[in-house]
Amino acid sequence: MMERFEPTPEQREVGALAREIAEREIAPHIAHWDRTHHFPRELYTKLNAAGLMGLTIDERYGGAGADYLSYALAIEELARVDAGTAVTLSVHLMIAAAIGRLGTDEQQAEYLPRLGTGDVIAGFALTEPGAGSDAAALLSTARRDGDHFVLNGRKQWCTNGAYAGVTMAMFRTGSAESKGISAFLIDHSLPGIVVEKTTEKLGIHTSNTVDLAFDDMRVPASALLGAEGTGLSNALGALTTGRIGIASQAVGILAACLDASVKFAKEREAFGKPIGAFEGVSFKIAQMATDLDAARLLVYRAAALCDLGLPFAIEASKAKLFASSAARRHAAEAVQIHGGYGYTTEFPVERYYRDAKITEIYEGTSEIQQLIIARSLLGRL
């Protein structure tokens, strides 16, 4: 079974493509983009031309039809240079996967070519001010009106929301329970949806995060994604595949921390020799490298199981839990290795430190991942 977790040459080529684009198109600009909180919309036109925006979309709709291990490698390489770009692509492909799994033939024919090759970005809207980890507490409503639904409510922390052409959003269509929630594909060209606020964040400054307001927005009944009342399970299903992307993002951040730490430890001297010669530094780097390998293997296993059509939700949770925690811990160690320089914007490790923390929070907090893993072993006691 182990050989299934090792990327093939073809899969590694996808990662190499993502790395080449990241080094050429992102690396020269990322410090400025981070300082100015700039969402580089033009970058995604280039990613679209390279086939990355349609990486996992079926070839029938113009996508590359790549597997999830290839996807994990691509996200890692993008995150190695910029975690914000990586999560933008990860969420985009998460929504495309949800449409491919749940959408009608008409929905797939309408949206997947646009997301795969049409330079259209997908967004996600689940969280509300009073509904985060407890997603079933959402209050936004979708009221049936003939062959339309009328949407009302506020969505918080919507990834890609200001630039999306289509957003997967959850609304209450029935009772005040989880089975009263339905998923919709929201076409942003329709009236009634407004970007109410752009969220200022600790990190991932190149990722667009907004609050969306829905005021009597009329959408056709055909916008319903999946059966009515299955929206919460559909959202959680989307987040399960999305966790492979977030775990890969964390791996990329961790890889960048290792690269930067090794370089600095070889070049920076103290007491007449490189600081890497001291155990206090070298042991940090050794642990960083070990945890990077462990995180990668957990991601590869989850992606491989997904590609085989086998259950992978627990493995995705384990990958996200471990990789995100390791990224946050070792980003702090990378700053420590750099000393005073690490606390300045002269070196990128302070950005890695800020970017790493969110991987423990979004698409299911670390506590939620622990709950999922514990319940798989203990049941609901």
CA distance 198 to 220: 27
CB 342, CB 71: distance < 8 Å: no
Pairing between β-strand 164-172 and β-strand 121-125 as defined by DSSP bridges: parallel
String of b and e for 257-290 (b: at least 16 CB within 10 Å)?
bbebbbebbeeeeeeeeebbeeeebbebbeebbe
Active site residue 363: yes
CA 100 to each of CA 51, 88, 111, 289, 381: distance values in angstroms, whole numbers, following the listed order: 17, 19, 10, 37, 35
CA distance 299 to 239: 15
CA distance 163 to 88: 10
Considering the candidates 177, 279, 363, 367, report the single residue annotated as catalytic.
363
Determine what percent of the chain falls in helix, strand and coil, rounding each to the nearest 5.
Answer: 60, 15, 25
Q: C-alpha angle 113/119/125, rounded to 5°?
A: 85
Q: With CA atoms as reference, report the closest residue to 358 among 83, 169, 95, 161.
A: 83
CA distance 85 to 75: 9
Catalytic residues: 363
